[in-house]
Amino acid sequence: MKLAIIGYGRMGHMIEEIAKQRGHKIVCIIDVDNPDAFDTSDYRSADVAIEFTTPGTAVENILKSFVSKVPVVCGTTGWLDALPDLKDMCDKGQGTLLYASNFSIGVNIFMAVNRYLAQIMNDFPEYTPSMTEIHHIHKLDHPSGTAITLAEDMVSRVTRLDCWKEPEEGKPVGENTLPINHERRGEVPGTHIITWDSSVDKITISHEAKSREGFALGAVKAAEWLKGKKGYYTISDMLSDVTHTQGIF
């Protein structure tokens, strides 16, 4: 298929490489030096565009793509206030968008397992949950967005959990609270570990990214899936469809 890339940074480069490996043609690459390229026949010839830029530029890029009638897969994070308006436009037939805060297929499978385990654990109060996320030293924010999603999925399924919290040094988090610990180490791409501990045993599930490649591969697979569709979608819609499952993702 024909792909356009919006944002030629770390993700844009990796998406280009993976898309070519999967036999796709890159018909247009847009970055800060050619913002008018949305209005070209090359851009308009794309079956799907993949957008990984910055929180301040993603919405404008999506809107420009809607005008050029090219469906967009967007992985840029940090602009979610605008999502309801964009969804609304897609519902009215004014554009096509697939958004995911995490395109790693493995992370999305891990999230499904986490939700299932949390549902089971709601009936076993002898198990106490905790989470640890580990990332490279360049990551400034904590906990990670993925850890927050995992934690919110647990809090909404386990009645003895009211909220999540990052422990202050040496202090317990308190009753009915899921602790999220973070570690910053070397170049670790992203590890999330969830533990359910009892006096007699311990259940641990974890996801360990080996590189950023998983995000790029997920975004290219999402673009392949989005081709020819109209409307607003998430990665859950894609995974439910390709796995022929309902209610898991």
User: Can you give the binding site for ligand NAD, defined by CB under 6 A?
Assistant: 6-12, 30-32, 35, 52-54, 57, 61, 75-78, 100-103, 215
Cross-sheet strand order for the sheet of 177-184: 163-165, 177-184, 128-135, 191-197, 202-208
Calpha distance 138→187 (Å, rounded): 8
* Nearer Cβ to ligand NAD (101/195): 101
Q: Which two tokens stand for residue 34?
A: 């050619």
Catalytic residue among 2, 13, 87, 139: 139
Residue nearest to ligand NAD (CB): 9
Least Å distance, CB 141 to ligand NAD, is: 10
Catalytic residue among 24, 64, 135, 207: 135
Listing DSSP states for 94-158 in one string gives S--EEE-S---HHHHHHHHHHHHHHHHHTT-TT-EEEEEEEE-TT--SSS-HHHHHHHHHHHTT-
Calpha distance 163→165 (Å, rounded): 7
* Nearer Cβ to ligand NAD (151/158): 151
* Nearer Cβ to ligand NAD (52/127): 52
221 is catalytic: no
* Nearer Cβ to ligand NAD (74/178): 74
Least Å distance, CB 129 to ligand NAD, is: 25
Least Å distance, CB 169 to ligand NAD, is: 28
135 is catalytic: yes
Nearest residue to 166 (alpha-carbon basis) of 185, 188, 186, 144? 144
What are the backbone dihedrals phi and psi of residue 13, each rounded to the nearest 5 degrees, phi first? Answer: -65, -45
Least Å distance, CB 232 to ligand NAD, is: 16
The angle formed by the CA atoms of residues 66, 70 and 23, to the nearest 5 degrees, is 155
Task: Point out the residues that are catalytic.
Answer: 135, 139
